[in-house]
Amino acid sequence: MNRPQMLTDVLSDKRAWYAGTIDDVKSWYYSLSEKCLFAFDTYIRYLRCYPQPITEIRIQKSLFDICTESLQPVADALNTGLGFAIVERIPLEQYTLEESRVIYWLLGQFLGHPFAQDIKGTLLYDVKDTGQSVTQGARFSVTKAESSFHMDNSFGNPVPDFVGLLCVKTAKSGGQNQLISAYSLHNELREQFSPDVLETLYQPFYFDRRGQFNMEEPSTSDNPIFQWDQVELTMRYMYYYIQIGHQRAGRALTPNQEKALNILEMLLCRSDLRVEFSLKPGQMLFTNNHWILHNRTLFEDYPAPKCKRHYVRLWLQRRTGSDGPTNS
């Protein structure tokens, strides 16, 4: 077996943050300028007269240029900064839910190209409790269970570069957002534990694909938890999906794998490694899905369906330098 490339240095730039090093909460937040909000409002008024299916709408160069001042710092934060950003805010009270989704859809396209989040091709994914159970094969995003720290689509290919979450409704209680930097996690693993732990995490594990595959495809995928391409650290992780994946594949976790996962789970419990916050309606969270782990805590919902916790999720592939919006 070829030895995988590993990040061998302890990283000390802003990507390797701890809760105590980014306690200036204001630095996480980015506001949309008045001219950017006005441009979105103008476009919504146009759509009221000339409606289009939301997923067929593409951001135009004029709108892209107007919002660059507001959104370029968000893109920089995701790529080379803290790896996450909270964007203030879509004024939900001024729009229908569908119109708010349009603004979010367009805003997301500044950062990247939306792509399908399930086998059905869903591009805008509603994150809310549907009464399903993870133990019966459901994804955590449609339950109220605490999800545990993970990256989205850890079992899939491709992995989204960025994940967006628009808060539409908050829960009655609970449902906080928690984030951890994989760079800080990697540093801790390298500095505090024997080398075999990280070496194991650079080897493949089986992930359950949660039913997101065609009949002729396997129900699991095998991927390393950590990968390093000399530029960016990539982490794929969801502990529960790994447990189920190895069961489905008929391949028991080795003692070294169990040891490495137990250490990883122990580190993910450390409060000094994570930040925690609650989004308010209209706020958007964007994360770099390669090296920011996220979690949602257990929540209690309101009984009325129209009041239940509701987020809308985007998966995005980052734009390249020559990959701009259309002029039409």
What pLDDT is attached to residue 287? 98
Structure-block tokens of residue 54: 């939301």
Spell out the residues 6+ positions from residue 14 whose beta carbon is closer than 8 angstroms to its own: 80, 81, 82
The answer to whether 21 and 287 have CB atoms below 8 angstroms apart is: no
For the chain, the domains span: 19-318
Spell out the residues 6+ positions from residue 270 whose beta carbon is closer than 8 angstroms to its own: none
Residue type (1 letter), 133: S
The answer to whether 155 and 221 have CB atoms below 8 angstroms apart is: yes
Question: Which CATH number is associated with domain 19-318?
Answer: 3.60.130.10
What pLDDT is attached to residue 158? 87
What pLDDT is attached to residue 301? 87
Output Rg (C-alpha) for the chain, integer angstroms: 20
Place of tokens 């990697």: 186
Cα separation, 124 vs 117, in Å, equals 8
Q: Where does 24-72 show beta strands of DSSP type E? A: 29-31
Secondary structure (DSSP) of 215-274: TTS-SEEEEESEEE-SS-EEE--BHHHHHHHHHHHT-PPPHHHHHHHHHHHHHHT-GGGE
Structure-block tokens of residue 238: 């969801």
Find, among 286, 292, 293, the residue nearest to 316 by Cα: 286
H or E, element range at 107: helix 97-111
Question: How many Cα atoms within 13 Å fall on the side-chain side of residue 70?
Answer: 23
Instruction: Output the CA angle 315-323-318, nearest 5 degrees.
Output: 25
Structure-block tokens of residue 222: 């095998």
In degrees and rounded to multiples of 5, residue 221 shows phi and psi of -125, 155
Question: How many Cα atoms within 13 Å fall on the side-chain side of residue 13?
Answer: 9
**230 conformational bin, left if phi > 0, alpha if psi -120 to 50, beta if neither:** left
Whether omega for the bond prior to residue 4 falls within 30 degrees of 0, making it cis, is: no
Structure-block tokens of residue 273: 């490694």
As averages over each run of 10 residues, the pLDDT of the chain (328 residues) reads 81 92 88 95 96 93 92 95 96 96 96 92 88 64 74 91 97 92 97 96 93 77 94 94 94 97 97 96 98 92 90 92 57
* 183: helix, strand or coil: helix
What pLDDT is attached to residue 325? 59
Burial of 222 (0-12, 13-18, 19+ CB in 10 A): middle
What pLDDT is attached to residue 175? 86
Structure-block tokens of residue 260: 């490495």
Eight-class DSSP state of 320: P
